[in-house]
Structure 1
Amino acid sequence: MGDRQTVPELMGDNDVIDLLMRQHAMIRDLFDEAERASAGDRSEAFQRLVRLLAVHETAEEEIVHPYARHKINDGDAVVEDRLAEENEAKQLLLQMDKAGAEDPQFLTNLAMLRAVVLAHARSEERYEFAQLRAQTSKAERRAMAAGVKVAEALAPTHPHPGMESAIKNLLVGTPVAMMDRARDVIRQTIGR
């Protein structure tokens, strides 16, 4: 693990599909961490999960989905289905964020969120990512990966010493605020 997972220039994934699938694995790990966390540590573990989900989904919406709409068979329908799944997860995230990690229903809601997010990830991998890999060149996937790496740098699961406060300042507040800030950074980076 270590630096290779959290420093964009050291990440080995130069294919956007490999990178996003690795993020799906990291999201599963962060769900495990939030579920196992003691009551005192639960809020911080949940915030790391929320940051990665916010940045991951925003990167997909800004970089991957627009590409998929034009490159894969029935792209508009495939992307619309993924966006509907993402919206369901966002609504749950907003409810959980508002209630806080001290809410008696937190673990029940976290299990529901996990089920929704992991079902969404499986659908992406099966219906969107598989076709995207088949319908795009390595250069196209490498270019998309560069944009996703910029976004991922906003939400490392274990920030470098000295970077915690900068990341915390950028990605604080509600999940929607995090997504908005991530969207702004991504758009500036990819020139939109």
Structure 2
Amino acid sequence: MGHGGNVIDELVTDHREVEELFGRIEALAPGEKDRKLYADQVTMELVRHSVAEEAYLYPAVREHVPNGDAMADEEIEDHAKAEQIMKDLEGCDAGDPEFDRLISMLMTEIRAHLADEEENLFPALRAACPPQALDELGDKVRQAKKMAPTRPHPSAPDTPPLNKLLAPGAGLVDRVRDALSGRGKKA
């Protein structure tokens, strides 16, 4: 993640990457161990993406878009549901029957969220925000994703300013844990 361009282009590219990982999971038979590898990768991408959206995208939506508060609140609520599913999924192996139930729930939740953003939120933001502001938001989102956590933290704050203060520290700890465990990497 970190593609360049304005915030909407950046986030839509992230959405396509997540969908590609979902496709890889769906292409494998239940119980196959690579399903867990791809689930870990999708979790890492979704957590970074969500943290960046909560830090920069949703505050911009609140500021610029008519009815932006309600839109941002709905998106943050979607993130909270998905984050709890990811946290529950973290403790499951691919062979665990709960894994299939949880990954299916996650895919359903995320696909609905992505569609809502792309069909409603992004067009509203594009209409309300000058192109230069969208470009600046894209830069901020890319920087936030570099420092963001890679594991779900359902009890962490999801609105500024606390989320911006705590995310880099949690991100550092998560990246160290990932490096030590090999999480998200093929053996």
Q: For this structure pair, what is the TM-score category when the shorter chain's length is used for normalisation?
A: 0.7 to 0.9
**Count of residues in Structure 1 that have an aligned counterpart in Structure 2:** 161
Identity of aligned residues (%): 25
In the alignment, is the contact (CA less than 8 A) between 1:58 and 1:182 conserved in 2?
no
Note the aligned Cα RMSD (angstroms): 2.7
2: CA distance, partners of 1:46 / 1:111: 11
In the TM superposition, residue 153 of structure 1 has moved relative to its aligned partner by 4.2
Structure 1 gaps of 5+ residues are: 1-5, 156-169, 186-192
> What is aligned with 2:96?
103
In the alignment, is the contact (CA less than 8 A) between 1:37 and 1:45 conserved in 2?
no
In the TM superposition, residue 102 of structure 1 has moved relative to its aligned partner by 3.2
The AA in structure 2 aligned to 1:176 is: H
Larger mean CA deviation between 87-96 and 48-57 belongs to 87-96
In the TM superposition, residue 142 of structure 1 has moved relative to its aligned partner by 0.8
Whether 1:22 aligns to 2:6 is no
- Within the candidate set 168, 180, 187, 1:184 is matched to 168
- Within the candidate set 113, 119, 134, 2:106 is matched to 113
Change (3 A) 1:48 1:147: same
Whether 1:92 aligns to 2:69 is no
TM-score normalised to the size of structure 2?
0.75
> Runs in 1 of length 4+ with deviation above 6 angstroms?
179-182
In the TM superposition, residue 43 of structure 1 has moved relative to its aligned partner by 2.1
Larger mean CA deviation between 67-76 and 118-127 belongs to 118-127
2: CA distance, partners of 1:182 / 1:21: 26
TM-score normalised to the size of structure 1?
0.73
Listed one character per residue, the Cα deviations across residues 41-95 of structure 1 (whole Å, up to 9, x for unaligned) are 2222111110000000110000100111010011111111111111111111111
Structure 2 gaps of 5+ residues are: 157-162, 170-187
In the alignment, is the contact (CA less than 8 A) between 2:61 and 2:68 conserved in 1?
yes
1:142-157 → structure 2 map (5 Å cutoff): 142-153=135-146
Larger mean CA deviation between 146-155 and 54-63 belongs to 146-155
Whether 1:130 aligns to 2:123 is yes
2: CA distance, partners of 1:95 / 1:58: 18
In the TM superposition, residue 32 of structure 1 has moved relative to its aligned partner by 1.3
In the alignment, is the contact (CA less than 8 A) between 2:25 and 2:35 conserved in 1?
yes
- Within the candidate set 44, 47, 71, 1:78 is matched to 71
- Within the candidate set 33, 48, 51, 1:55 is matched to 48
> What is aligned with 1:158?
none
The AA in structure 2 aligned to 1:87 is: A
Listed one character per residue, the Cα deviations across residues 83-120 of structure 1 (whole Å, up to 9, x for unaligned) are 11111111111111123433213123212210110101
In the alignment, is the contact (CA less than 8 A) between 2:7 and 2:138 conserved in 1?
yes
